[in-house]
Amino acid sequence: MDLVQLTEEIVKSLVVDTDAVSVKEFPTEEENVILIQVMVAEDDMGRVIGKGGRCANAIRTLVQASSTLKDNKYVKIDIDKF
């Protein structure tokens, strides 16, 4: 499973409106960095970010750990709303 699919599966398990989830990978100028943008519905932002950002940090940790096992690239995840 690649990093975008992993991120999408984790985020979809947290939100109510799974159809509004969009996860895309964007190129960066740095060669060892992957940028993943997560878009969710406005009502689901609190669920994805979590209290004090704990949920968002947990998502980043899981995806980064998966990247270390496979590509060994640094992963940046931006979470935003539609």
| Residue 25 · residue 53 · CB < 8 Å | no
Q: What is the CATH number of domain 3-81?
A: 3.30.300.20
Which residue shows structure tokens 């998502």?
Answer: 59
Q: If you compute the radius of gyration of the chain from its CA atoms, what whole number of angstroms results?
A: 12
pLDDT tens for each residue of 23-75? 999 988 988 999 999 999 999 999 999 999 999 999 999 999 999 988 888 99
Q: Is the pTM of this model over 0.75?
A: yes
Q: Is 49 helix (H, G, I), strand (E, B) or coil?
A: helix
